[in-house]
Chains A and B, each alone.
Chain A
Amino acid sequence: MRGRFAIGPTLITVAALLYFFVPLYAAFQFSLQMKRGTLSFAAYGSVFQDGVFINAVTFSIMASAAAIILGAILVVPTAYWVRLRLPKLRPLVEFISLLPLIIPPVVLVFGQIRMFGSSSYLPLTTSDWGTNVLLVIGYVVLSMPYMFRAVDNGMAAIDIATLTEAAESLGASRFRIVTTIIFPNIRVAVVSGAFLTFSICLGEFAIASLLNRPAFGPYMVQLGQDRAYEPAALAIMSFALTWVLMALMQAFAHMKPGQKLFFRIPFKKKSPTP
């Protein structure tokens, strides 16, 4: 077989690449045709000149960042404790973390609105601030399957039981162990969970729309209804962003302790004047 041109697999590969790249290329080409008769980046310029776009992106980035931080604070200690002390509960916790994949976000957000609506004991939806909190919590739930998995895999890669005992014998408290030993050692896993969370939150529509938040997902849908060329430009940019995130994730995943991802610009030390 070696050396022979394998026709079947090659055809499948080519078909898969075409399936993926042809629509992408079509969208890209379409996005360049805003000005009649020439190819230009006018659609991209138009998107960036829209103040609503900038606001939507900023809002979504802030909300995802909050969701990432809250998710990590919830998931890291939980996964740690389950692995260390309650290994029998792990299948259950894993199952719970997968629930958001089965339950549609619409159900989640209706639940939130019923629980925290204007006539409830804790009427969070009556203020912007409260609704933002609900949105972030919704994002945390949506990203839970990815965050938990990433963190749990990260913990499987280090011997958390022995590291914990070593730190305890040196007098460290639980809090110190989680923050100075466990967290830094699974940082790569947390970061990859964070990137996944980020890409989910950025495109999320149902929760943001039903809570009426000015997020990027609803903006994109609205734009798709109102305009022709700009949505194509946005789609291309989202793809590019996702790829950049994937590349960063890979770079983080292969980093050794103490290595810096980006080169620091070395400052010249001032030599003391004699």
Chain B
Amino acid sequence: MSLLTVRSLVKSFGTNTVVKDFNLTMRDSEFISLLGPSGCGKTTVLRMVAGFEKPSTGAIEIDGQNVTNLRPNQRKIGMMFQSYALFPNLTVTGNVAFGLKVTGTPSDEITRRVDEMLSMVGLSGFGSRYPYQLSGGQQQRVALARAIAPRPRVLLLDEPLSALDAKIRVALRSEIRAIQRELGITTLFVTHDQEEAMAMSDRVVVMNGGRAEQVGTPDEIYNLPASRFVAEFIGALNLLPATLRDPATGHVETAIGMISLGRTINQSVGSAVTLAFRPESLRLMSLSEPTLGQEFVGRLVTREFLGAIVRFRAEVAGHLTLGIDCFNRAGGTLPQVGDEVRLGIHSEEILLLQ
């Protein structure tokens, strides 16, 4: 069952088209993130779903109902803002009860529901405080309780965590996700933090220049990027220009020698392609290890210690540098800057970008 459907959405401000043919189908209880660089139109899409912006063309359906022309207060949505947007004149209880009062819920039912919501976000006993008496993290929890109290059909969140400090951000994101799962609320989440999107979402929509470049699960987005933009935007990536020599066997020629991709490539001989692989796919090999398939030598030029991971950069073929991520295992010895090293990679971990 699809709960939210967005069809061919286009939005222009004057002559500037900021959302172009955007499509999305969300299943019931699904958590989807809109991820993309600043200015790619994430907020604009979310605001159109909420009803704060009118689409230039296209349609939005919630639960089978066309809401494109409904005002925001008729859409039964919940929304969380980066700036919390709690009502400063109301107590925590007043804030959470606001949406319930609007719908004319009986007062004993409101009391019960507010208590339930506050205990869900871990703020029981804070009901009589005012927003200015709460920390940022607590305010955002109240905002969550307020948004979900009237049982919205869709929950919309626009970078609700970006104003918080790193520790609270990570704690709150798993809480939001847990509550979302428990209540089964269909949720659309906007972020420009890829780790946040990967960690929280059922599916991620990677946006670029107003378009959805790829829609997929976090693994699909990371391991099988559909476009060069997605591959470069998500995670770190090594790029290696190459020329196709044999489409049937997937042999390509690069500055570090011939590489066999071991699969058929649907392009003509001699066409220019780009090979891409993640720093963690590249292995530092000891002399005794058997080959992984593809192999070349390089010289380490930098070494960054990041705790769990050690990140090297190696120079290959005299002018190219490649990133290599290694786990930092206790007892293992890792090479030093200046060492000549043997690098290996499985050919199936090499992506081909057009």
Partners in one complex: yes
Interface-lining segment among A15-23, A41-49, A166-174, A261-269 = A166-174
- Give the complex CA separation of A7 and B81 in angstroms: 55
A158 within 8 Å of B (CB atoms): yes
- Decide if A111 is an interface residue (CB 8 Å cutoff): no
Instruction: Select which of A159, A170, A257 is within 8 A of B130 by beta carbon.
Output: A257
Partner of A166, one of B76, B85, B89, B150: B85
Q: Which of A42-78 contact B (CB under 8 A)?
A: none
A172 and B85 in contact, given A165-B52, A257-B130, A258-B91 (Cβ under 8 angstroms): no
Interface digits, B123-147 against A, CB 8 Å rule (1 contact, 0 not)? 0000000101000000000010011
Residues of the B chain whose Cβ atoms lie less than 8 Å from the Cβ of A187: 89
Report how many A-B pairs have Cβ atoms within 8 Å: 75
Is A256 located at the chain interface by the 8 A CB criterion? yes
Q: Kindly provide the distance from the CB of A174 to the nearest chain B CB, expressed in whole angstroms.
A: 9
Contact partner of A258 (CB less than 8 A), chosen from B81, B87, B130, is: B130
- Report the separation of the CA atoms of residues A60 and B65 in the bound assembly, to the nearest whole angstrom: 57
Interface residue A248 (Cβ < 8 Å from any Cβ of B)? no
What's the nearest-Cβ distance from chain A to residue B61, in Å?
Answer: 18
Q: How far is the CA of A94 from the CA of B158 in the complex (A)?
A: 34
Contact A169 B50 (CB under 8 A): yes
Q: In the complex, are the beta carbons of B81 and A162 less than 8 A apart?
A: yes
Q: Are B132 and A256 in contact (CB under 8 A)?
A: yes
Indicate if B83 sits at the interface (CB-CB under 8 A): yes
> Can you name the residue of chain B whose Cβ is closest to the Cβ of A159?
B83
A163 within 8 Å of B (CB atoms): yes
Question: With A and B bound together, what is the CA distance between A173 and B98 in angstroms?
Answer: 12
A185: Cβ under 8 A from any B Cβ: yes
Contact A166 B79 (CB under 8 A): yes
Report A149-192 residues with CB < 8 Å from chain B CB. Answer: 158-159, 162-163, 165-173, 176, 180-181, 184-185, 187
Bound Cα distance A256, B103 (Å): 29
Given the contacts A166-B79, A169-B79, A170-B102, A257 and B150 also touching, CB distance less than 8 Å: no
Identify which of B52, B88, B98 contacts A172 (C-beta below 8 A): B98
Asked if B216 CB lies within 8 Å of chain A CBs, one says: no
Cβ-defined contact, B85 with A171, below 8 A: no
Q: Kindly state the interface size class of chain B when it binds its partner.
A: 20 to 34
* B79 proximity list for chain A (CB < 8 A): 165-166, 169
B41 within 8 A of A: no
- List, in ascending order, chain B residues with CB within 8 A of A176's CB: 102
In the complex, A171→B146 CA distance in Å? Answer: 12
Does A181 lie within 8 Å of B81, measured CB to CB?
no
Minimum distance in angstroms from A64 CB to a CB of chain B: 26
Q: Are A172 and B73 in contact, CB atoms less than 8 angstroms apart?
A: yes
List CB contacts (< 8 Å) of B65-86 with chain A: 71-79, 81, 83, 85-86
Chain A residues within an 8 Å CB radius of B77? 169
- Give the interface centre of B73, B86, B132, B146 by most chain A CB atoms within 10 Å: B73
B150: chain A residues at CB < 8 Å are: 170-171
Q: How far is the CB of A132 from chain B (nearest CB, A)?
A: 34
Instruction: Indicate if B99 sits at the interface (CB-CB under 8 A).
Output: yes
Q: Is B87's CB under 8 angstroms from A165's CB?
A: no
- Out of B78, B89, B91, B132, name the residue touching A169 (CB < 8 Å): B78
B98 touches A167 (CB 8 A): yes
Residues in B whose Cβ lies below 8 Å from that of A158: 88
- List, in ascending order, chain B residues with CB within 8 A of A173's CB: 73
Q: Please give, as numbers and ranges, the residues of chain B lying within 8 Å of A181 by CB-CB distance.
A: 87, 89
A191 to chain B, nearest CB (A): 14
| Of the residues A168, A170, A180, A258, contact of B146 by C-beta under 8 Å | A170
- Contact pattern, B 94-116, Cβ under 8 Å of A = 1, otherwise 0: 00001100110000000000000
Q: Which residues of B contact A163 (CB under 8 A)?
A: 85, 87
Chain A nearest CB from B49 CB (Å) reads 11
Q: Is the CB of B130 within 8 A of A256?
A: yes
Rounded to whole Å, the gap between the CB of A228 and the closest CB of chain B is 51
Find the residue from A165, A170, A257 having the highest chain B CB count within 10 A: A170
Which 9 A-B residue pairings sit nearest by Cβ, starting from the closest? A170-B99, A169-B79, A184-B89, A166-B85, A168-B72, A171-B102, A162-B85, A168-B73, A171-B73
Write the residues of chain B forming the contact surface with A, with a CB cutoff of 8 angstroms: 50-52, 71-79, 81, 83, 85-91, 98-99, 102-103, 130, 132, 143, 146-147, 150, 156
A interface list, Cβ under 8 A from B: 158-159, 162-163, 165-173, 176, 180-181, 184-185, 187, 256-258
25 contacts between A and B (CB under 8 A): A159-B85, A163-B87, A165-B50, A165-B72, A165-B85, A166-B143, A166-B146, A167-B87, A168-B51, A168-B71, A168-B73, A169-B72, A169-B147, A169-B156, A170-B98, A170-B102, A170-B147, A171-B99, A171-B102, A172-B73, A172-B99, A176-B102, A185-B87, A257-B90, A257-B130
